[in-house]
Amino acid sequence: MQYRTLGHTGVQVSALSLGAMNFGAIGRTTQDDATAIVDAALEGGINVVDTADMYGAGESEAMVGKAIAGRRDDLVLATKAAMPMGDERNHRGSSRRWLVTELDNSLRRLGVDHVDLYQIHRWDSSTSDEETLSALTDLQRAGKIRYFGSSTFPAYKIVQAQWAAREHRLSRYVTEQPSYSILQRGIEADVLPMTEEYGLGVLAWSPLASGWLSGAVREGREITTSRSKALPQRFDLALPANQARLEAVERLAKVAAGAGLTLIQLALGFVTAHPAVTSAIIGPRTPEHLRSHLAAADTVLSADVLDAIDEIVAPGVDLAAHEKFDTPPALLDPSLRRR
């Protein structure tokens, strides 16, 4: 396992991180399964576990807490907040009111007194940077969080938050957690240059593109990934965007085979090869899935393989731009741009 420094924090983290979104009902993963996955991940050299309050409405955090009991100090524990936690209108977002309350909820579910990295799950257009950063700085000073970061922020919001921290003399985001894979390379054009400019650590989620790069989605094969059942439109081959993805996957599979790699090794090796990326977050549902991911832990892609990937999906290109989560609200809701 390779280890990298998380931004400018000095904390050493593994090139692969264990994502716990599939723990619980969402991934049909039991507590025994979750504990076995955490056991195997730590044994394999992974030292980062990433979860969120909204994964299974707190179920994932509770399962992670039980799985890491007795070895809290052996790993870097990360969680997130800001996504809706129920129907109550203030049980979401990044206001001081909610973050102070929800962090205590997360700590209780995790069974710990602090988390190493607390992340704002999605940017909240209704809350000022000063409000959020002030709350996070106070929580940091109280010892409940060691560092804080953002997740799926567009580039201009990353910059804006850095300047707000400087202007108001507050602690700043030290990490960003964006979606990044061979099939979704848009952040290479703006987000990753900004994280490098400001020295942020990058924890990339969905490096296997929701299963498209796991080997489970191939020409003439029934698609049976868990995501295909939860989000069928993302795998409907009648849609041009999905057909383009399938064509890319078939070409990538040939590149992987020619290099003596699995498609998973190619996909994870690609993400961790980018100089701005600190760690790729994997989300196995079973110990078997984890083993196939750990096989890519030390994969280093040659220049000719990286060039071949660029020929299939050009740098900075998203093959499914409509699935992005960092689009400004005004581009999604006409009422916000046509007043």
Rounded to whole angstroms, the Cα distance separating 250 from 17 reads 27
Dihedral of alpha carbons 182, 187, 190, 193, sign: negative
Longest dimension (CA), the chain: 57
Using DSSP's 3-state secondary structure scheme, residue 144 falls into: coil
* Phi, psi torsion values for 120, nearest 5 degrees: -80, 115
Using DSSP's 3-state secondary structure scheme, residue 176 falls into: strand
Clarify whether 147 is annotated catalytic: no
CB 37 within 8 A of CB 286: yes
* Phi, psi torsion values for 269, nearest 5 degrees: -65, -35
**If we measure between CA atoms, which residue out of 294, 50, 89, 314 comes closest to residue 184?**
314
Q: What length does the chain have?
A: 339
Rounded to whole angstroms, the Cα distance separating 16 from 19 reads 9
Host H or E run for residue 77: strand 76-81
Q: Which two tokens stand for residue 51?
A: 């979860």
Catalytic residue among 55, 147, 173, 180: 55
Residue type at 151 in one-letter notation? S
Alpha helices, DSSP H, located in the chain: 31-43, 59-67, 96-110, 129-141, 155-168, 191-198, 226-230, 240-258, 263-273, 287-294, 303-312, 329-332
Rounded to whole angstroms, the Cα distance separating 189 from 107 reads 36
The set of catalytic residues is 55
